[in-house]
Structure 1
Amino acid sequence: MTTLTDTAPSVFETVESEVRSYCRAWPVVFEQARGSRLYDEHGRPFLDFFAGAGSLNYGHNNPVLKRALLDYLADDGITHGLDMSTTAKRDFLETFRSTVLEPRALPYKVMFPGPTGTNAVEAALKLARKVTGRKTVVSFTNAFHGMSLGSLAVTGNAAKRAGAGVPLTHTTQMPFDHYLDDQVPDFLWFERLLSDSGSGLDHPAAVIVETVQGEGGINVARAEWLRGLADLCRRHEMLLIVDDIQMGCGRTGDFFSFEEAGITPDIVTLSKSISGYGLPMALCLFRPELDVWQPGEHNGTFRGNNPAFVTATAALDAYWRDGTLRERTLARAGRVERALGDLCGEDGRTAVSYRGRGLVWGLEFTDGERAEAVCRRAFELGLLLETSGPRGEVVKLLPPLTATDDELDEGLGILARSVRHAADRVAV
């Protein structure tokens, strides 16, 4: 196989910062991408079960989205628009309303906070504090919400938090679903702190939660747990923020990952696959009565990425006018679950457990070294996977929602071979 030495990407080592990470796990130089595959500069294909960390739910260079983008650029469409009104933004807002909001009876206003997920989270936190006049925000163990300071404050990972370099304040962490191995009733500790004036917990402005913790290790919250959380927030007058940046846009089947639970969050953050094409774009959605912003009170130079509006509109038109993608994703979820179940049940040596929803799944090992060995072997066999979890102990599967059945089976087959290879190495 091609190695880092073969391609000699010395400029990456000599000019680019040491902060780079994914390129260390996949030491080739990529040149092209189509559908579910990336190709290095020597033409070798790699099946992509990483999908831009969830930014490419519709695959690489999706032809429908690409055509819309090329036509728009060829017609000298607006590229940079700040928050000016443009035809591209109008088309997106109208399509988002008709394909996403209205069919789900969601009354949300739409805010463009900036191009990335952490921009959306920062806007959500700022808005919650502005509306309530309170400072504290509750988040959960193993959460990940972004790398800017406000987002880091509600993130659980110790290594990422340490990178802030300053105290991360005005947040309190609570146990996520299953964190205490179901030994105590849901929210017992949280409810007690809220009810006891001597607990030391300032009345929170909001609670922020992922329905499936991607970076935290594919920890899946039960629908009843989410409903309990929504009820707790309502009774104690705390805003509920759902971070759907990685799990939204169909990753769990429904457009929003919280739909299965039947809840309506006060605030929702979206990014990653909302543009459909991997272009930077983020949204902060909130109930109309929360729209207390003054003009320009929260802004950003690149919040008007009009090419992203164009591809986002094309994606909504192509995939969310009916329930076809949802049904296909849920059907494939069963396919993945069966394969992982078979793999974990082979001989007790391969993996500890698996979990997931829709087309996001995690295979948990006893330690990060085993999980890393699986991903390393998968790369050698032409499959891109990453690890997640607090110790990197979970192999994470994020295939494009548009992957074919054959591609899904191919990837699962390579995963199985990689797991067995790592198990055999440990046995030796």
Structure 2
Amino acid sequence: MTITPPALSVFETLESEVRSYCRSWPAVFDRAQGSYLFDEDGHRYLDFFAGAGALNYGHNNPVLKRALIDYLERDGITHGLDMGTTAKRAFLESFQDNVLRPRDLPYKVMFPGPTGTNAVEAALKLARKVKGREAIVSFTNAFHGMSLGSLAVTGNAFKRAGAGIPLVHGTPMPFDNYLDGQVPDFLWFERLLEDQGSGLNTPAAVIVETVQGEGGINVARPEWLRALADLCKRRDMLLIVDDIQMGCGRTGAFFSFEEAGITPDIVTLSKSIGGYGLPMSLTLFRPELDVWEPGEHNGTFRGNNPAFVTAAAALDTYWADGQLEKQTLVRGEQIEQALIAIRAEHPGLETTHRGRGLVWGLEFGDPQRASAVAARAFELGLLIETSGPRNEVVKLLPALTVSPDELDEGLRILARAVRETA
């Protein structure tokens, strides 16, 4: 497929230079359905990006769309702050019945604002309020959001630099396998906690992603996560799991930490919790941590009722049984086998692969190769992005509803893109 970049337009003349994805994908998109987007010239693109994980159920999912249209046509509440509404009640009941009760999770539900970084800011604020301490420990190559509190626990130097001020009260520790297994897990962390001269104030909490998406698809082992949970318990630190991109079934189970058999003190969700790509986020926490005063943390758009409608429809449709989880794991095996074949075809490219469920990464020894592969894939009709500190990882993030044939189509395009840029 030959793509003609759009002519200089209002995007270039009026929109800020901060725009990014449109630079990698120079097209003007017009409509989307399922795993495909279409530009205004009619070109079709297979989407292995899924709104950065916000579209786990695909574009314009017909079941969710019907629920949303019905709600809007009857003049259902759109903006409701934190008022009680029928849409919010239906979502909370569905979340309790389909997610919390089946997993025996006791969490209270907080609506902190519509984006992931809102959920993280609320989690950090609550942890500090509960423990009466300021320090938060995060991990190398973590990404938790673009507001100041979230940036303080984010590892990427480029994103941190955009803050323009010192980012304080956050201390990074090595993520799983950061030191290539040469040092026992948490040796450095434990030593700092024990040593009164280490300079590390006793943390209020530790925040972690079980799979670092923006950091390069770095997958934490279940035993590492269990050891971290134990460390937090022994040292009186709260454990926060940021499940904003890896939650809502991305790794198979609804929560990515389920495989490790841990129960975090606080969990953040956003992206696909709204089901349809509508802004929505949650901060979940143990009931005894609910020490908020009314209105102590709020936001004008924390009550996005159309998102409550599509979120409830998604939970009722896809999480009333275990079929989506099983399907996701099967699709993940399909991806892994394709990545193994690509690596075998190109032994000289120094590639590695890793992932869980339907999030996978193909790492190249030469970072420029990953960018070239992503660019060629776009020309061939596949949307994929790169991640990692040097953008050295091609990241695969298809919708959970992707069909085997669609997955095969995208993996064949990826293989061709690697071949044609080798």
TM over 0.5: yes
Secondary structure of the corresponding residue to residue 202 of structure 1 = coil
Deviations 1:1-33 (A, max 9, x none): 2322xx325100000000000000000100000
Q: Distance in 2 between matches of 1:53 and 1:421?
A: 26
Q: Distance in 2 between matches of 1:65 and 1:354?
A: 34
Q: Distance in 1 between matches of 2:366 and 2:241?
A: 30
Within-5 A mapping of 1:319-358 = 319-358=318-357
- 2:297 corresponds to which residue? 298
- 2:360 corresponds to which residue? 361
Give the drift of 1:405.
0.4
CA contact (8 A) 2:349 2:365 kept: no
Amino acid at match of 2:361: G
Matched positions, count:
421
After alignment, is 362-371 or 11-20 more displaced? 362-371
Deviations 1:196-247 (A, max 9, x none): 1111110000000000000000000000000000000000000000000000
- 1:316 corresponds to which residue? 315
Q: Where does the alignment leave 5 or more consecutive residues of structure 2 unmatched?
A: none
Secondary structure of the corresponding residue to residue 345 of structure 1 = helix
Within-5 A mapping of 1:142-221 = 142-221=141-220
Give the drift of 1:345.
1.6
The runs of 4+ residues in structure 1 deviating greater than 4 Å are none
Give the drift of 1:346.
1.8
Within-5 A mapping of 1:54-73 = 54-73=53-72
CA contact (8 A) 1:367 1:392 kept: no
Q: Distance in 2 between matches of 1:132 and 1:58?
A: 38
Amino acid at match of 1:377: R
TM-score, L = length of structure 2: 0.99
Give the drift of 1:61.
0.1
Within-5 A mapping of 1:101-140 = 101-140=100-139
CA contact (8 A) 1:333 1:358 kept: yes
Amino acid at match of 1:240: L
Amino acid at match of 1:3: T
Q: Distance in 1 between matches of 2:138 and 2:309?
A: 34
CA contact (8 A) 2:52 2:245 kept: yes
CA contact (8 A) 2:374 2:385 kept: yes
Q: Distance in 2 between matches of 1:54 and 1:153?
A: 23
CA contact (8 A) 1:350 1:420 kept: no
Give the drift of 1:59.
0.1
Deviations 1:10-68 (A, max 9, x none): 10000000000000000010000000000000111000000000000000000000000
Q: Distance in 1 between matches of 2:196 and 2:184?
A: 21
Within-5 A mapping of 1:28-67 = 28-67=27-66
Give the drift of 1:267.
0.1
Deviations 1:256-298 (A, max 9, x none): 0000000000000000000010000000000000000000000
- 1:235 corresponds to which residue? 234
Q: Distance in 1 between matches of 2:407 and 2:40?
A: 24
- 1:370 corresponds to which residue? 369
Amino acid at match of 2:206: V
1:12 equivalent to 2:2? Answer no
Q: Where does the alignment leave 5 or more consecutive residues of structure 1 unmatched?
A: 424-428
After alignment, is 270-279 or 345-354 more displaced? 345-354
TM-score, L = length of structure 1: 0.98
Give the drift of 1:367.
2.5
Deviations 1:104-149 (A, max 9, x none): 0000000000000000000000000000000000000000000000
Q: Distance in 2 between matches of 1:406 and 1:388?
A: 26
- 2:3 corresponds to which residue? 2
